[in-house]
Amino acid sequence: MKNYLSILLIFSIGIFLYSCQDKDDDCIYLDKRMCDPNFVLPEIAEGIVELESPITNYDRKIFLEDYTGFRCTNCVPASVTAVNLKAANPDRLSIAGVHCTSTFAAPLTSDTTQPFHKDFRTVEGEAFVTYYNFSALPTGTINRLGSQGNKYLPYAEWTDRVNALLSENNPEVYIRIVNVEIDEEDQKIVVNVHAKPLIISDKKYLINISVTEDEIKEAQKDNDTPGGTIYDYVHNHVYRGSGYGPWGIDVFDGAIELNTNEVLSYKLTMDIKPEWNLNNCDLLVFISNSSNREVVQIEETPLK
């Protein structure tokens, strides 16, 4: 097998349509794709690469999503829990703060000199709300799974769940971010990724890329603060969206036949939005089980 990337196939992903809503629906300005009948998900290029040596000493990594909102009065302690877990496990835990719902995350004003004028909501985040059917915020998921009987997980249980998963350390899929490029002209992120299943199975897998952003200054409601608002709050790990919809697109199944040193190679793309500060953004690449959407492996890297 040659040591360079062999592009085998480029295929177009089917049109990803959102239903067009009434012009007064605030979801329209969240993402204009919702009313664009010509919107198509980015293409993905696929090939096979032979590594110089087998994959060894590879750890299972965990994905924690903190569902929150800057108007959620009880959400700060959950965000602190997520950040502390990340600080304790910087190389094995990725986190995303998903601001969601009109109740907790919609702006209160369009005046940019006033607090609560920013909008961190995303089309994907609202899709997650529908899927998980949250009863209240804050809440979360770990690897997009919840507790027994619920699709979501109360933040009081995050630490125990993360520690248990880290101790198991049994990765079933390999991911490596080979390189990331910023296409300034077309305003796209272009990511080259290596991946392969590490355990033979009949599972089918999805791949996706997401962006999170740090150091965004915006007010935050908080019950424990005099006056009820932290005006100089700094939001970190803010989920900015995904390249391939909420859940990702098919890549391979666990029964694919590859030689010991071979991995699959993918070229993934994602649009850049003008409000992002790319110097403060991280890229997340993750693979999930298509049957239950469980994230089975994740890798992250700074965009710049």
pLDDT band at residue 37 using 50, 70 and 90 as cut-offs: low
Q: What is the pTM of this model?
A: 0.86
Predicted pLDDT of residue 44:
72
Predicted pLDDT of residue 24:
41
Region 68-73: mean pLDDT is 98
Predicted pLDDT of residue 135:
82
pLDDT, one tens digit per residue, over 180-224 is: 999 999 999 999 999 999 999 999 999 999 999 999 999 999 999
Predicted pLDDT of residue 42:
60
Where are the chain's structural domains? Answer: 6-302
Region 69-97: mean pLDDT is 98
Predicted pLDDT of residue 27:
38
Predicted pLDDT of residue 35:
55
Closest CA to 178 of 1, 2, 4: 4
- For the CA atoms of the chain, what is the radius of gyration? 20
pLDDT band at residue 43 using 50, 70 and 90 as cut-offs: low
pLDDT, one tens digit per residue, over 97-148 is: 999 999 999 999 999 999 999 999 999 999 999 999 988 999 999 999 999 8
